[in-house]
């Protein structure tokens, strides 16, 4: 072992209590950061998965200007063309029709957004069919049934089996008027769906709205094969005829927030490291102060200042290396605990909803090697940097003055 | 060989003053001095007479107020701090009164330290250090840390470190001051023997008369000036 590291290690062992306290702080910091990074990644990935695989999808196609007024008449021309592209590129696609009207059960009524969906395609493309609170999502055969949002169900006093009367203005100007059975109540997916979604079979929708096969939205999901931008690019040929938007464009606030979350984490860890740096600075200042006569003696012998700087910095480095090893192990263990048990934020009364999108309230971890590498490197760099000031101070001592200190 | 080539240390009108005005202390006052190869010279004088200060300006640990100091013919009073550090590393062996050894290094490692700084390969270092420790009778203490050694043994390790690197001169500032008289006497005997057998030049300070008796030459300092220069034997 090079003498510098021998000196560093033995110096650390001289004041075991001081070393242990600093080491614990460093280990704690490492472990917390690793766990936080992993938790943050899980949360971000989970959020994106929720968005792209629940109801919104990676990319949505609408008729131009549909999103501004959501008019029943602004439907996609020739939707088969896009479904064909999707099929060719192996991207799951779900065509949807939307219309607005009144929904009532007994004496209660509320405004509703009616969805006409193809249950089979919806199941193939998205997972929201699994997000059922009560009852069932329909299969292809069952008609005259609806699945409704949670809050809508509450305000209509709806139960499974309740009869829901839909009153809408149909495409031909007549009044559409039908009775459906409530077959299922959805879990929270988005605020909008919670409050107003009445989802029915495409065929029921066509009858209710006399919409003659009008499709207002095609939601696309490549299921992680492609990025949302890549999916959008596949449909570029049609960009003049329809509006193609990625989820990031549809939910810009949320996309921005998720994007800055990771950088925010780095900023946050930076603050952590400043605190750690001051801790190490303090320890190393005390340590070098205690040994001021030794540094004076070494300088008197002809030891170069850089070697004394090396000695002090090596001490901080050995300390941080131990902390990094122990801290990484502790961090991995924390992540394992998180994965096993999870933190259920809903039990803390937190509503897990942002920009109208619901999120999984159970936090787990998604640890990547980069989290450990970053934490280890940042801890070591921070320790060595913090020791630089005491190191330079020790290196600049006047030998006689230092040796006269008591 | 001319007489000059054997002069290791020369001071010309060397002065070192501390403070100013009323509180001016002339710690070293107009000292002219020559030390030749192979000398075993003691600087004597009561406490406060300037022994440490004189040794410090010779080794470049402190700067002179005026005058010149030469080592091996080079004017070291012109040297930068870096050059002075090199001079100390390459030409001067140090033995201090206390805090000689790094507590975290064993006797062996302490003795090895300067050789390591000088970049000597490890196997050469081992032979050299073990030979020196053996010569000083502390080879069996090689693995001990300073805290496990007596004061006399610690000073021997310091001497081992000082001579292991074959310095031009060993400067020792009251190396025996913290030792009991018997240990002190044996340490000085050992230094004298190294001087006699190995030709190592020693310049040390002391105010212990028994130790001064062993010296070949005694320079007496009074209030910073040399008041006597006696050659024994
Ligand atoms: N750094 C200093 N500042 C002021 N005065 C000093 C300093 N060092 C030494 N002196 C003074 O110089 C004189 C000589 O001191 P010193 O060389 O230590 O004597 P000695 O080693 O013979 O006891 C003393 O009067 C001492 O007080
Ligand atoms: Mg003195």
Write the DSSP assignment of B124-192 as a string of letters: HHHHHHHHHHHHTT-GGGTT--GGGS-HHHHHHHHHHHHHHT--SEEEEESTTTTS-HHHHHHHHHHHH
B56 lines ligand 1 (CB under 6 A): no
Q: Is the pLDDT of residue B129 over 80?
A: yes
Give the number of other CB atoms < 10 A from CB of residue A381: 14
From residue B119, alpha-carbon distances to A155, B33, B166 in Å are 86, 33, 14
Q: Which residues of B touch A19 (CB under 8 A)?
A: none
| Phi and psi at residue B43, to the nearest 5° | -100, 115
Return the domain boundaries, chain A. 2-52+254-404, 57-246
Q: Which residues of B touch A299 (CB under 8 A)?
A: 85
- Contact predicate A376/A324, CB 8 Å: yes
DSSP state letters, A81-129 = HHHHHHHHTT-EEEEEEEEEEEEEETTEEEEEEEEEE-HHHHHHH-SGG
pLDDT per residue, tens digit, chain A (406 aa), is 688 899 999 999 999 999 999 999 999 999 999 999 999 889 888 888 888 888 889 999 999 989 998 999 999 998 999 999 999 989 999 999 999 999 999 999 999 999 999 988 998 898 878 888 888 887 656 678 999 999 999 999 999 999 999 999 999 889 988 999 999 999 888 888 889 999 999 999 999 999 888 999 999 999 878 899 999 998 887 778 899 999 999 989 888 988 888 888 888 889 989 999 999 999 999 999 999 999 999 999 999 999 999 999 999 999 999 999 999 999 999 999 999 988 887 766 555 666 667 677 788 888 999 999 999 999 999 999 999 999 999 999 999 999 887 6
- Contact predicate A251/A156, CB 8 Å: no
Distance, C-alpha B30 to centroid of its chain: 21
Q: At what angle do helices B122-135 and B107-117 cross, to 10 degrees?
A: 130
- Contact predicate A152/A110, CB 8 Å: yes
DSSP state letters, A157-187 = T--TT-EEEEEEE-TTSSEEEEEEEEEEEEP
| Tokens 């009778």 found at | B137
- Residue closest via CA to ligand 1's atom 11 equals B27
d(CA A360, CA A352): 7
B51 lines ligand 1 (CB under 6 A): yes
- Contact predicate A4/A311, CB 8 Å: yes
d(CA A383, CA A386): 5
**pLDDT for B26-53, tens place per residue?**
999 999 999 999 999 999 999 999 999 9
d(CA A218, CA A94): 5
Q: Which of B144, B38, B40, B37 is nearest to B101 (CA)?
A: B144
**pLDDT for A128-154, tens place per residue?**
788 888 888 876 566 789 999 999 999
From residue A119, alpha-carbon distances to A80, A250, A370, B14 in Å are 17, 24, 41, 103
Is B85–A11 a contact, with Cβ atoms under 8 angstroms apart? no
d(CA A394, CA A405): 13
| A348-353 long-range contacts, CB within 8 A, separation 24+ | A353/A188, A353/A191
d(CA A183, CA A163): 10
**pLDDT for B15-31, tens place per residue?**
999 999 899 999 999 99
pLDDT band at B4 (very low <50, low <70, confident <90, very high): very low
From residue B92, alpha-carbon distances to A85, A109, A180, A317, B179 in Å are 86, 101, 103, 33, 23
d(CA A387, CA A316): 6
Chain A residue whose CA is closest to B93: A301
Q: Which of A404, A286, A304 is nearest to B98 (CA)?
A: A404
- Contact predicate A229/A59, CB 8 Å: no
Q: How far is the CA of B51 from the centre of ligand 2 (A)?
A: 6
B54: tokens are 């004189």
What pLDDT score was predicted for residue A53?
Answer: 85
d(CA A146, CA A164): 8
Would you say the C-alpha torsion A68, A74, A75, A77 has a positive or negative sign?
negative
Q: Is the pLDDT of residue B143 over 90?
A: yes
Q: CA angle, A315 as apex, A310 and A319 as ends, to 5°?
A: 145
B64 three-state secondary structure: coil
d(CA A371, CA B102): 40
What pLDDT score was predicted for residue A128?
Answer: 79
Cβ neighbours of residue A98 under 8 Å, at least 6 residues apart? A70, A72, A113, A114, A115, A116, A216, A217
Q: Which of B62, B85, B105 sits opposite A302 (nearest CB)?
A: B85
Average of per-residue pLDDT across B111-129 = 94
CB-based burial of residue A176 (10 Å sphere; 0-12 exposed, 13-18 middle, 19+ buried)? buried
Pairing of strands A92-105, A217-221: antiparallel
Q: Which residues of A touch B100 (CB under 8 A)?
A: 297
B53 lines ligand 1 (CB under 6 A): yes
- Contact predicate A63/A216, CB 8 Å: yes
| Phi and psi at residue A91, to the nearest 5° | -110, 130
Q: Which residues of B touch A6 (CB under 8 A)?
A: 104-105, 109
Chain A residue whose CA is closest to B98: A403
Q: Is the pLDDT of residue B58 over 70?
A: yes
CB burial readout B165-195, b (16+ within 10 A) else e: bebbbbbbbbbbbebeeebbbebbebbbebb
What pLDDT score was predicted for residue A131?
Answer: 83
Distance, C-alpha A105 to centroid of its chain: 38
d(CA B105, CA B146): 8
Q: How far is the CA of B174 from the centre of ligand 2 (A)?
A: 7
Q: Which of B163, B161, B156, B146 is nearest to B179 (CA)?
A: B156
pLDDT band at B1 (very low <50, low <70, confident <90, very high): very low
Q: Which of A262, A273, A264 is nearest to A379 (CA)?
A: A273
Pairing of strands A217-221, B217-222: unpaired
Is B99–A11 a contact, with Cβ atoms under 8 angstroms apart? no
A4 three-state secondary structure: helix
Percent residues over pLDDT 70 in chain B: 97
Instruction: Write down the ipTM of this complex.
Output: 0.93
What pLDDT score was predicted for residue A399?
Answer: 92
d(CA A252, CA A74): 23
**pLDDT for B189-208, tens place per residue?**
999 999 999 999 999 999 88
């Amino acid at each position: 072992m090079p003498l510098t590291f021998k000196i560093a290690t033995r110096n650390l062992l001289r004041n075991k209590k001081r070393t242990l306290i600093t080491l614990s702080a460093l280990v704690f910091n490492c472990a917390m950061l690793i766990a936080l990074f992993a938790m943050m990644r899980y949360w971000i990935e989970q959020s994106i998965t929720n968005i792209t695989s629940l109801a919104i999808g990676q990319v949505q196609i609408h008729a131009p200007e549909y999103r501004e007024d959501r008019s029943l008449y602004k439907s996609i021309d020739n939707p088969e063309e896009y479904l064909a592209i999707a099929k060719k590129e192996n991207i799951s696609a779900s065509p949807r029709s939307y219309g607005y009207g009144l929904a009532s059960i007994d004496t209660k009524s509320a405004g509703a957004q009616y969805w006409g969906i193809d249950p089979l395609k919806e199941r193939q493309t998205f997972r929201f069919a699994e997000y059922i609170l009560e009852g069932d999502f329909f299969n292809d055969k069952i008609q005259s049934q609806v699945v409704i949002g949670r809050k809508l169900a509450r305000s209509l006093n709806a139960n499974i089996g309740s009869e829901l009367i839909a009153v809408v203005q149909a495409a031909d100007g007549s009044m559409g008027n039908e009775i459906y059975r409530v077959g299922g109540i959805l879990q929270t997916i988005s605020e909008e769906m919670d409050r107003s979604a009445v989802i029915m079979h495409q065929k029921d929708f066509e009858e209710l709205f006399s919409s003659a096969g009008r499709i207002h939205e095609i939601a696309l999901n490549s299921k992680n094969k492609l990025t949302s931008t890549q999916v959008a690019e596949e449909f570029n040929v049609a960009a003049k005829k329809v509006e193609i938007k990625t989820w990031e464009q549809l939910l810009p606030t949320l996309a921005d927030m998720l994007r800055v979350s990771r950088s925010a984490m780095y900023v946050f860890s930076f603050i952590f490291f400043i605190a750690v740096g001051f801790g190490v600075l303090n320890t190393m200042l005390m340590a070098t102060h205690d040994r001021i006569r030794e540094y004076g003696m070494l300088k008197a012998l002809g030891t170069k200042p850089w070697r004394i700087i090396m000695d002090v910095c090596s001490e901080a480095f050995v300390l941080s290396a131990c902390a990094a090893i122990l801290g990484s192990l502790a961090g991995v263990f924390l992540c394992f605990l998180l994965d096993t048990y999870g933190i259920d934020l809903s039990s803390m009364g937190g509503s897990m909803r942002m920009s109208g999108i619901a999120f999984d309230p159970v936090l787990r971890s998604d640890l990547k090697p980069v989290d450990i590498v970053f934490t280890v490197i940042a801890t070591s760099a921070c320790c060595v940097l913090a020791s630089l000031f005491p190191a330079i101070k020790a290196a600049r001592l006047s030998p006689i003055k230092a040796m006269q200190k008591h | 060989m001319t007489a000059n080539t054997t002069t290791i240390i020369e001071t010309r009108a060397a002065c070192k003053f501390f403070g100013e005005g009323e509180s001016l202390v002339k710690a070293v006052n107009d000292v002219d001095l020559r030390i030749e190869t192979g000398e075993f010279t003691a600087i004597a004088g009561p406490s406060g007479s300037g022994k440490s200060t004189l040794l410090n300006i010779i080794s470049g640990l402190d700067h002179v107020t005026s005058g010149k100091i030469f080592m091996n013919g080079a004017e070291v009073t012109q040297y930068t701090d870096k050059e002075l550090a090199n001079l100390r590393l390459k030409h001067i062996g140090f033995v201090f009164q206390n805090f000689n050894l790094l507590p975290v290094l064993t006797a062996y490692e302490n003795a090895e330290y300067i050789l390591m700084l000088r970049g000597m390969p490890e196997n050469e270092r081992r032979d050299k250090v073990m030979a020196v420790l053996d010569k000083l009778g502390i080879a069996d203490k090689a693995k001990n840390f300073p805290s496990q050694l007596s004061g006399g043994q610690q000073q021997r390790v310091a001497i081992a470190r000082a001579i292991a690197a074959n310095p031009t001169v060993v400067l020792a500032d009251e190396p025996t001051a913290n030792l009991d008289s018997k240990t002190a006497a044996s340490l000085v005997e050992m230094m004298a023997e190294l001087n006699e057998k190995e030709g190592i030049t020693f310049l040390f300070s002391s105010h212990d008369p028994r130790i001064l008796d062993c010296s070949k030459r005694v320079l007496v300092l009074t209030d910073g000036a040399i008041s006597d220069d006696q050659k024994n034997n």
